[in-house]
Structure 1
Amino acid sequence: MAVQREWLDRDFYADLGVASDASAADIKKAYRKLAAQLHPDRNPGDSAAEERFKKVSEANSVLSDTAKRKEYDEARALMSSGRYRGGDSFGGGGFGGGGGGYTTTGGFDMGDLGDLFGGAASGGGGGFDLGDLLGGMGRSRGRTQQQQSQRPRRGNDLQAETTLNFRDAVTGNTIRLEVTSPSPCTSCHGSGAKSGTSPRTCPSCNGTGFIHRDQGHFGFAEPDPECQGTGTRIDKPCAQCSGTGVQVRKRSINVKIPVGVEDGQRIRLTGQGEAGRRGAPSGDLYVTVHVTPDPVFTRSGHDLKVTLPVSISELVLGATVSVPTLDGTVGVKIPPNTADGRVLRLKGRGVPKRAGGKGDLLVTVKVAVPPKLDDAALDAMKTYAEAEKAAGFDPRADWGR
Structure 2
Amino acid sequence: MNEQEMKRVDGTAWDVVVVGGGAAGLSAALTLGRVRRSVLVLDAGEPRNAPAVGVGAHGILGREGISPLELLRLGREEVAAYGVRVVSGRVAQVHRDGEEFSVVTEDWQRVRARRVLVTTGLVDELPDVPGLAARWGRDVLHCVYCHGWEVRDRAIGVLGSFHQALLFRQLSTDVTLFLHEATELTEEQWEQLAGLGVGVVEGRVGGLVVDEEQDRLTGVRLVSGVAVPVEELVVTPRFVARAGFLDGLGLTVREHPMGMGEQVVVDGSGFTGVGGVWAAGNVSDVMAGVPQAMAAGVGAAAAINMNLLMTDADRAAVSRTAVPGTDVFGGVTEAEMPRRVLGVRVHGLDGLVDGG
TM range (shorter): under 0.3
- Greater relative contact order: 1 or 2 (C-alpha under 8 angstroms, separation 6 or more)? 2
Larger CA Rg, structure 1 vs 2: 1
TM-score when scaled to structure 1? Answer: 0.24
Output the TM-score relative to the length of structure 2.
0.26
